[in-house]
Structure formats: structure tokens, C-alpha cells
Amino acid sequence: MNIIGKKLLDQIGPGILKTAQFFCSFPCPFCGVKTDGINNFCLDCLKKLRLVKGTRCPGCGGALDGVLELCTKCIEFEQRPWEGAFAIFELRGLGQQVIHRFKFHNSPELARPLAILSKDILSSSNVKFDYIVPVPLHWSRCFWRGYNQSVLFCEELGRFSDIPCSRMLRRVKRTRQQAKLNRDERRKNLLNAFDINLKAAVQGKTILLIDDVMTTGATLSAAANVLKEKCSAQVYILVIGRR
Ligand SMILES: [Zn+2]
Ligand SMILES: [Zn+2]
């Protein structure tokens, strides 16, 4: 290349690069600032999301906060019916806002970026899951919301992990909102709330049960127990946010 050509390239090169970056960057799915990958949260949002790292509590999948086998939130609960647990982030600060938007603000597009966040969790666990199963909503709640956020998340996760997503559970009772109840009421509220979808039921499989949020774990316990009793399943759980 001659000297004139090189000078020209030096002058327009950065401009071309900037233009390419402009067209190849994508908005953060939460705050909208430009990021370098499609469906990636930006670095600032990632920092505020409090992703769970290190050794996880087997009760809730959150971070272990002491020397005991379970975290301080789980220690007061009886034995959980699952083999292990994973949570993507702690439900404080930004995590709370992301989940709220995903559930209540008609934002199904958040399913994919949230599923991307859990890819590493699955690849670093030594468990081979046969199915990913979402905790179902009662049809009436699904009707008003327009979608079940756990199902959408499951489908995206299935796409990334090559684990089939199965609607093995169905909700047979419309329960009151758990958030307004105490621990005993929560358990009673969920009695016989779930059953097996006979068309999708399989026996003796290892299942990753998915819900958006875990508070006391009562909903996940009720769902996991049905999978264990009626499908002899080995159950692990994955939640997006741990409260
Ligand atoms: Zn952001
Ligand atoms: Zn825990």
C-alpha cells in the first residue's frame, strides 16, 4: 500500500471501526446501554445482580454464609426433598427488579438473557439431567399474565443446554399467593396443588426443577415431592433468584 493509501486508512479506519461497533453492539436487556453481545447484561448490571459464586448451599443454591453445611436461611427448615440446588443470583437490589419486570411487566424477552446466565451453572455441575421441568402456574394465572415465566426460562435453558424441557407437572389447584402466608399456611395452601401430566410422565429420571424465585421453598418442595412419589425421580432445583 502506498503512503497516501495508508494515511487515508489511518484517517478513516477508526471511523469504520466505530461504525461497525455501533451496528454490532446490542442493548443490555435490562438497562438498554450498549453491550458487545446479544442478550448479554451489561457489566454494570452484572455487577449489581449479585450472581452466586463459590460453594452453594444444597438447600437453596445460594451462597454459603458460614461454616455449616447449609446457609443460615435454610438451617431452620426440615430436610429438603431435592438432591442439590442452584440459584443464579441473590434476590436483592437489581435482581429483585429484573424478576419483577420479567413476571409482571410483560417482558418475556428476559427469559433468554436469564437462561444465558445459568449456562455455566449447568456446565460446571457434575449431574447429567434428563429433563428440565418448570413449576407450572395455574391456568387462570397464566391467562392473565399471558405467559408462565418459568416455562419460558426453561425453554431457553433447554435450547442452550440440549436438555429437553418437559411439562411433566401440572397445577391442579389455584392456590393463594404464597407471599401473604406464614410457613404453615404456605404448606397447607400447596397440599395437592400439583399432579403429574400423564402424557409427559417418565419414570426414574434425573430432573432439574425450575422456578423463578425461591423464598421458603414450599412451592418447590410440593412440586419435587410429586415428582419423587409419582415418577421416582431424582430432583435438583434451579431458581433464578434466591430471596
Ligand atoms: Zn445493563
Ligand atoms: Zn440455603
Same domain, 224 and 123: yes
Same domain, 234 and 127: yes
Ligand nearest to the CA of 239: 2
DSSP letter for each residue of 123-139:
HHS----SEEEEPPPPH
Residue 210 burial (C-beta neighbours within 10 Å; 0-12, 13-18, 19+): buried
How many structural domains compose the chain? 2
Same domain, 56 and 28: no
Same domain, 31 and 99: no
The widest CA-to-CA distance across the chain, in whole angstroms, is 81
Same domain, 236 and 139: yes
What is the predicted pLDDT for the residue at 184?
78
Same domain, 56 and 116: yes
175 lies in which domain range?
A: 49-242
Mean pLDDT within 106-133: 92
CA of 194 to the centre of ligand 1 (A): 36
CA of 23 to the centre of ligand 2 (A): 43
Q: Which grid coordinates belong to 40?
A: 448479554
Q: Using the predicted structure, report yes or no on whether residue 151 has a pLDDT greater than 60.
A: yes
CA of 152 to the centre of ligand 2 (A): 25
CATH of the domain at 150: 3.40.50
Q: Kindly list the protein residues that place their beta carbon closer than 5 angstroms to ligand 1, a single-atom ion.
A: 28, 30-31, 42, 45
**DSSP letter, residue 83:** S
Instruction: Name the more confident of 7 and 47.
Output: 47
What is the predicted pLDDT for the residue at 198?
84
Q: Using the predicted structure, report yes or no on whether residue 13 has a pLDDT greater than 70.
A: no
DSSP letter for each residue of 177-235:
PGGGS-HHHHHHHTTT-EEE-TTT--SS-EEEEEEEEESSSHHHHHHHHHHHHHH--EE
pTM of the entire structure?
A: 0.85
In this predicted model, what pLDDT tens digit does every residue of 24-55 receive, in sequence order?
Answer: 788 999 999 998 888 899 999 999 999 999 89
In this predicted model, what pLDDT tens digit does every residue of 163-197 receive, in sequence order?
Answer: 999 999 999 877 777 777 777 787 777 778 899 98
Of 9-18, 162-171, 200-209, the range with the lowest mean pLDDT is: 9-18
Same domain, 32 and 147: no
CA of 49 to the centre of ligand 1 (A): 10
